[in-house]
Amino acid sequence: MRTRKSTSFAAGVLLFVAIVRASAQSQAADPKFEVASVRMTTTPDQAAADRTAGATVTISGARVTINGFALMGIVARAYRTETYLVTAPDWTAQAKVVIRALMPEGATKDQLPEMLKTLLSERFHLAAHVAAPEEPVFALVTTKNGPRLNPPRELDQATCAGWSDKRGFDDIQGCNTVGQFGGQTVRTQMSVGGPNGPVRYQITSDGDLREEYLKMTMEQLARRLSVPCAEGCLGLPVVDRTGLAGAWDFTLDRTCLASSCDTYASALEKIGLKLEKTTAPVERLVIDRIDKVPTEN
């Protein structure tokens, strides 16, 4: 009798342990918020208020507040990709979202994308797949004489006072200054914590634009050049084929006249890099389904 009871007790313990482990593994593989409130800012007044406040991510302990991001941007963050690589209905780029949620005990900010992915699936019935069609791209390569890059160094944040608080998904901090140098007005914008690493932008009153990147890999540079912008951008994704490993410091000098800037192609040539048009698979997130209105809180 004792043997049977002992065997039953041991079996029960093992079953309990197995259930706990399975639950822990499931939570680790597919983490989700304990509770979450989702609100769409569909009215013009509310949308304008959110734009004025700026897109922010605030994490205080286990509490998460996401405000002012477009739904497409939330999807991109959830799947750890860039917005320009998301194929989704046009309205998702305009619809703003406010999310207030509570992370489970032991969860970290690194798990936030996975929790957002679960939230999108549950509340917006999001369904998506990844495709990698062959597309026209620019290949980033070195010139015949080789690259002219510098060893990486730290950004001297002491040169700018009044750094902003960390904000956004990437904990970006920024600082802006205006000064007079050689009879010119120079506006300097610096940021740290972003996907491009430390960056210093300097814009002079005569139309010169200097983008100084510190500790940047060639893969990061290719991704930076791929992001659409208003003036001087390349219009196609860029893939890194330089064969250069590690992080580097370099400056991209561009000239801007009126509202138009020259392309990055000429700036790259100055540091021994160039762009060659070719084709390559481009991994894109394709949205198969997403509801315009989330399920009720």
Same structural domain, 144 and 179: yes
Q: Cα–Cα distance between 77 and 162 in angstroms, integer?
A: 28
Q: Last residue of a domain, which of 97, 128, 159?
A: 128
Residue 82 located in a structural domain: yes
Residue 13 located in a structural domain: no
Residue 255 confidence class, pLDDT cut points 50, 70, 90? confident
Same structural domain, 109 and 213: no
Max Cα–Cα distance, the chain, nearest Å = 97
The answer on pLDDT for 258 being more than 60 is no
Residue 216 located in a structural domain: yes
Query: 3-state SS of the chain: helix, strand, coil percent to 5?
Result: 30, 35, 35
Q: Which of 64-68, 72-76, 93-97, 165-169 has the lowest mean pLDDT?
A: 165-169
Same structural domain, 141 and 121: no
Same structural domain, 70 and 146: no
Residue 290 located in a structural domain: no
Mean pLDDT value across the chain: 83
Residue 12 located in a structural domain: no
**What is the number of domains present in the chain?**
2
Same structural domain, 123 and 42: yes
Q: Residue 272 in 3-state DSSP?
A: coil
The answer on pLDDT for 259 being more than 60 is no
Question: pLDDT tens-digit profile of 58-70?
Answer: 888 899 999 989 9
CB-CB neighbours of 247 under 10 Å: 16
Residue 39 located in a structural domain: yes
The residue count of the chain comes to: 297
Residue 24 located in a structural domain: no
Measured CA distances, 85 to 75, 94, 131, 132, 146 (Å): 11, 16, 10, 10, 31
Same structural domain, 149 and 241: yes
Domain that holds residue 222: 137-281
Pair of tokens at residue 254: 């561009």
Q: Last residue of a domain, which of 110, 128, 146?
A: 128
Contacts 24+ apart (CB under 8 A), 227-232: 227/82, 227/84, 228/84, 231/256, 231/259, 231/260, 231/261, 232/256, 232/260, 232/261, 232/262, 232/263, 232/264
Q: Which of 3-7, 71-75, 192-196, 234-238 has the lowest mean pLDDT?
A: 3-7
Residue 206 located in a structural domain: yes
Same structural domain, 274 and 147: yes
